[in-house]
Amino acid sequence: EATVRSITWAQVAGNQALPGQLLRLHFHDCFVKGCDASILLDNAQSEKTAPPNGSLGGYPVIDAIKAQLEKACPGVVSCADIVALAARDAVSYQFKAPLWQVETGRRDGPVSLASNTGALPSPSAGFNGLLQSFAAKGLDVNDLVALSGAHTIGKASCSSVTPRLYQGNATSIDPLLDSTYAKTLMNACPNSPTSTSTVDLDGATPFKFDGSYYTNLQNKRGVLASDAALTQNAAAATIVNDLTNPIKFYAAFSMSMKKMGRVDVLTLKNGQGKIRTKCNVP
């Protein structure tokens, strides 16, 4: 773990976008066929090639860590464990201490298919759709709200935001979006189908891992429709209010990350998976 931490922290020190990228990489890995590093495989039909994964980043950090670990202890640490550890360490850089414990012992899966990425929750999903996506992975409403807090860092592609701003015409704004904030988002995201622009998921403190995401939700300043959806269900809205307290958020997030890190894992005990030598090659 010390090797993973030292490489991750050195990289994050020079690139404040990395915590959001590595956290998202871990999430997108676990939600498709479990936490098996299938997101890292390269082939013509791999998960990487699917639209929801087009804007993922952080791959070079995973490769750098893997190369170092293979030198030190060949064939011991899986790419799946590296993804989980690097996500934790990137977020924890801000605190200079691990925010949650990562269980290890995952094995790497052999299959990566773009067609499996339908399991990922859509940024335009309503509350029931989100809850179903999470329930399919053994996660509940507490996990849904806590893990959505990952949007306290990172960016969204404008293509995920513009449907809320330009609903059929230039003036129709999603009523769940604060109108002043909508203007800010319109400046960042013009109504262009070819735009490759991005916008901060947390307009208040975009590079700080804190509870401001939940305060944004209370103020109708969630960037994605799936963010705003959390305020449209009574149970979820109660949790949102609770997690504006950063101490409660860190505790809930840590618990839910551990749960997510167990989703459909492959283990040696079950005779599944392998440990890849190179993370992008089966």
Q: Could you say which DSSP state residue 262 is in? A: T
> According to the annotation, is 242 in a ligand binding site?
no
Q: H helices of 93-224, where?
A: 127-135, 141-148, 158-165, 179-188, 212-218
Was 6 annotated as part of a binding site? no
202 is in an annotated binding site: yes
Q: Using an 8 Å Cβ cutoff, are 201 and 223 in contact?
A: yes
| 28 among known catalytic residues | yes
The active-site residue out of 5, 28, 48, 276 is: 28
- Is 140 within any annotated ligand binding site? no
108 labeled part of a ligand binding site: no
Q: Is the distance from CB of 231 to CB of 237 less than 8 angstroms?
A: yes
Question: Could you give the dihedral angle defined by the CA atoms of residues 143, 221, 153 and 183, in that order, rounded to the nearest 10 degrees?
Answer: 150
Does 174 show up as a binding residue in the annotation? no
Residue 89, annotated as binding a ligand: no
Q: Is 172 annotated as a binding residue?
A: no
For residue 128, give both structure tokens: 């029931």
Given a contact cutoff of 8 angstroms between Cβ atoms, the answer to whether 4 and 82 are in contact is yes
Question: Is 205 part of any known ligand binding site?
Answer: yes
CA distance 10 to 61: 10
152 among annotated binding-site residues = yes
User: Measured between alpha carbons, how far is 155 from 229 in angstroms, rounded to an integer?
Assistant: 18
- CA dist 121 → 69, 86, 176, 227, 273 (Å): 33, 22, 19, 11, 25
What whole-number distance in Å separates Cα of residue 161 and Cα of residue 124?
9
151 carries a ligand binding annotation = yes
Task: Determine whether the annotation assigns residue 244 to a binding site.
Answer: no
Q: How far is it, in rounded angstroms, from Cα 175 to Cα 162?
A: 14
Q: Are 256 and 146 in contact (CB under 8 A)?
A: yes
Residue indicated by tokens 């839910």: 256
Binding residues for substrate: 121
Binding residues for Ca(2+): 29, 32, 34, 36, 38, 47, 152, 202, 205, 210
Active site residue ranges:
28
Binding residues: 29, 32, 34, 36, 38, 47, 121, 151-152, 202, 205, 210
